[in-house]
Structure 1
Amino acid sequence: MTAIPIPRRAVLTMIAGAGVATLAGCRPTRASTPALALPDALLVDLDGGVGVLRGATRRTFARAVASADGQTVYVTAPAGADTAFWAVQPGRDDASPRVVLPGRWVPQVVSAGGTMVALTPEPRAVTDGPPGGRAATPVLVADAGGVRYRLELRGNLVPETFTADLGGLFVLDWLPAAAPDRYRVRLVDLASRTVGPLLTRDKSPVPTGAEEEMRGDGRQAVLAPDKALLYTLYTHQPGHQHTRDLVSGRPGNAHAFVHTLHLEQRWAYCVDLPHPFGESPAASHAMAITPDGGRLFVADVTSGTVAEISTEGLNVTRTGRLAPGAGSAYAATDGRALFVGAGTAVRAIDLAGLNGTAEWTVRDPVAGLVAAPGGGRLYVGQRAAVSWHDPVTGRVLGRVPAPGLVAVRGPAAAG
């Protein structure tokens, strides 16, 4: 599926058809003029929160976070001094019973399997930059049945994702805690409530003093289709030293790389990107993974450079060119072509030759690309609308209004 810029994170009024059931915590709306119905359900960011666009309906969930596969949206709402918390399966118009969480919380991240949620007192995505100074971080871990862990962790931490077995929580540990300017990825053992380093790619403990500390911009996160690995794109890392550099004594000078986090085996490894990646603004970079999970593509629209990464070898296998552009970049792939959007231009790159094959213009600046499951359509988020196109010719197949649209993120549960 198309990435959700966990970047590194961050997950999340269209038309509403008559006769659609209203779920608690969502606000269906009606369009003033008729419009085509979306052929596929989409997960989107709206200015009111997380959104699900399905057919001729739109649902908005404030104070919510969605699972990466779009199957479940976890929603919170104030309940006096406490927090109401429940899960919605948008494809089935179904919601779990509400449970009450003690205190005020907002959902941060969902486990790769979609069953566990980490909540904090205030929203803070891993791509938001340095948080305010603090000596300790409260975290609540819950599922649809209620609280599983309540943690008071020493340090200035931001949840990123869970281990595959749900026994650990990966976090960004911001340093120094009182006035952070850099961070490292660490692992919280939920049972013991202890925070420690990750493993290296050969599953060895990271030596003391060899944990990577990063100062750059986390642009986007992509979950592998098998949900075993999380890839995060970082830019602007001059002079950065990976753990392997610190251990070997090599100088290191990566301006951009893809941080690979194995959710089952608990190790991390960074794939360096070649020049000129990382030289242009972070927003000009985008990333997408093939449906089979075998190849990861990173594009920099400012320089017009594309890199292909083997997810088995964790190395850049080749680079290609596309027409340079400007603006925030978005990418998607159906396994045959890579689509890159920036400004009002969408470019198609053939994966066999890694060269551009088509380019077309859309009405408004691109705000997300999604390749339809099974192929045949490319969805393009735009200002207050979503259009869908023939992925070969770029011909417009349909367009629906979507007031308040911030970005199109990926497929949602279709029911």
Structure 2
Amino acid sequence: MMANNPISRRTLLTVLAGSGATALVGCDPGRSPSAAPAAPVPDPLLVEVDGGLGVLRGTDRQTMPHSVATADGLAVFATAPEGADTALWRIDTATGRASARVTLPGRWVPQTVSTTGTTVALTSTAVHVTTGRPDGREVTPVLIADETGVRHRLNLRGNFVPETFTEDLGGLFVLEWLPATAPDRYRVRVVDLATRKPGPLSTRNKVPVPPGAEEEMRGDGRQAVLSPNRRTLYTLYTHQPDHRHTRDLVSGRPGNVHAFVHTLSLGERWAYCIDLPHPFGEAPAGGHAMAITPDGSRLFVADVTSGTVAEISTEDLTVRRTATVPGGTGTAHAAADRDRLVIAADRTVRTLDLTRLGVVADRTVGEPVTGLVFSADGQRLYVGQTDAVSWHDAGSGAELGRVAVPGLVALHGLAGRA
């Protein structure tokens, strides 16, 4: 294939058998039936398949139909109807072991998990922050739970979608859709779980955002990436004509940015937007992708339609440089290691050297790409394709193995390691 390499908001989270075609089965009981041996996958992988999340672990295959994973893939919270109520349990993806089930009163859908992997927010209907807008509603019920049961029950006046938890688990970041009964725009807020009241974030200077200066967005939340230290969430937004950031609203400056990276501090509860230069945001949202280096120092955004790549310093939150590579079409995917950035769209997989941000290899795979993931040691690149996952030598690009994954929707990332 290639001498190339490999996902991560508001994406997250965000992966059956080889020549012997074993089907993924539900987590209830959550194990694949006996069948011809599947090809062993070197690293546990988290995937999305028709019907839910899946874990590929060696030759074992497991699916969780109504579930949500931690950003690092170490744990999954799953649910199942239990009469008029909902059963909730936690699965360790490294071993497949599940916690005891707890019963939640009423019907709930898991929405987001804390970065600690201990706490989950559930709503009555499923709407992810990067996959669409909710139906109109005046009140949003939210349940906060862990392995022991319900911790908080909220009835938020307005139309809210949970995004992630604060680092100390004392708050829940949410998107508030406006107007509540006919939503067409949204803003990011934080709900204090002690008072159960939503409020504005702070600026990067840790100053509370003044009334009337909260950013309202109308575009597409394309993808979310969590920093390796789990303290910052980066979300790519596109199609934001005439958008004005909080800093513009406070200063009175006009705004007209089409794409930016929303930076959210999970510990200090501030937000800051990194503007992306033209032509980011002009082309379809699906043609954009992000990836972060393992040390968390550099964030890359690619627009495959125009062939533009931007490098962002996560220390000073600025675009350091841009580069132009051959353009393409289709849904974009990206992954980065210490030395390389891999960008894919349709059947093209392109590797860039991070020193000069130049193309060092172009390869073509057999089917449209549905995800790129590096192994933890950077030696292998996993490539999701139509109904299959292949893995390749990260240096030479040689294909090392492949397993069939019927119904594969996306290759999300590494799962827990034993």
TM-score (norm 2): 0.95
The whole-number CA distance in structure 2 between the counterparts of 1:262 and 1:48 is: 32
User: Pairwise CA RMSD of aligned residues?
Assistant: 1.9
1:28 maps to which of 17, 29, 32: 32
Structure-2 residue corresponding to 1:338 = 341
Q: Given the alignment of the two structures, is residue 63 of structure 1 paired with residue 69 of structure 2, yes or no?
A: no
The whole-number CA distance in structure 1 between the counterparts of 2:170 and 2:130 is: 24
Q: Given the alignment of the two structures, is residue 257 of structure 1 paired with residue 260 of structure 2, yes or no?
A: yes
The whole-number CA distance in structure 1 between the counterparts of 2:17 and 2:103 is: 30
Mapped contact 1:25–1:61 kept (Cα < 8 A):
no
Structure-1 residue corresponding to 2:138 = 135
Structure-2 residue corresponding to 1:310 = 313
The whole-number CA distance in structure 1 between the counterparts of 2:334 and 2:411 is: 11
The whole-number CA distance in structure 1 between the counterparts of 2:26 and 2:80 is: 17
Correspondence list, 1:280-359, <5 A: 280-359=283-362
Give 1:14 shift.
3.5
Structure-2 residue corresponding to 1:267 = 270
Structure-1 residue corresponding to 2:410 = 407
Give 1:360 shift.
0.7
Structure-2 residue corresponding to 1:184 = 187
Instruction: Give per-residue Cα distances to partners, 1:178-198, cap 9 Å, x unaligned.
Output: 100000000100010011000
Correspondence list, 1:79-98, <5 A: 79-98=82-101
Instruction: Give per-residue Cα distances to partners, 1:323-366, cap 9 Å, x unaligned.
Output: 21110000001111000110001000000000110011111000
SS at match of 1:131: coil
Mapped contact 2:239–2:282 kept (Cα < 8 A):
yes
The whole-number CA distance in structure 2 between the counterparts of 1:22 and 1:215 is: 37
SS at match of 2:312: strand
Q: Give the aligned residue type for 2:7.
A: A
Q: Give the aligned residue type for 1:403.
A: P
Structure-2 residue corresponding to 1:48 = 51
User: Which stretch has the larger CA shift, 85-94 or 112-121?
Assistant: 85-94
Gaps of 5+ in 2: 1-5
User: Which stretch has the larger CA shift, 191-200 or 121-130?
Assistant: 121-130
Write out the 4+ residue segments of structure 1 that deviate beyond 6 Å after TM superposition.
none
Give 1:29 shift.
5.0
SS at match of 2:411: strand
Shift of the 31–325 alpha-carbon distance from structure 1 to 2, 3 Å rule, reads farther
Give 1:25 shift.
4.7
Q: Given the alignment of the two structures, is residue 201 of structure 1 paired with residue 191 of structure 2, yes or no?
A: no
Give 1:391 shift.
2.1
Q: Give the aligned residue type for 1:116.
A: T
Q: Give the aligned residue type for 1:81.
A: A
Shift of the 177–8 alpha-carbon distance from structure 1 to 2, 3 Å rule, reads farther
Q: Given the alignment of the two structures, is residue 216 of structure 1 paired with residue 219 of structure 2, yes or no?
A: yes
Q: Give the aligned residue type for 1:252.
A: G
The whole-number CA distance in structure 1 between the counterparts of 2:33 and 2:17 is: 7
1:3 maps to which of 2, 7, 13: 7
The whole-number CA distance in structure 2 between the counterparts of 1:50 and 1:353 is: 37
Mapped contact 2:346–2:368 kept (Cα < 8 A):
yes
SS at match of 1:157: strand
Instruction: Give per-residue Cα distances to partners, 1:103-150, cap 9 Å, x unaligned.
Output: 000100001111110000111100122211000100000011110000
Correspondence list, 1:99-110, <5 A: 99-110=102-113
Give 1:68 shift.
1.1
User: Which stretch has the larger CA shift, 219-228 or 119-128?
Assistant: 119-128
Give 1:374 shift.
0.9
The whole-number CA distance in structure 1 between the counterparts of 2:313 and 2:184 is: 32
Gaps of 5+ in 1: none
The whole-number CA distance in structure 2 between the counterparts of 1:106 and 1:357 is: 44
Mapped contact 1:9–1:160 kept (Cα < 8 A):
no
Structure-2 residue corresponding to 1:379 = 382
The whole-number CA distance in structure 2 between the counterparts of 1:170 and 1:22 is: 30
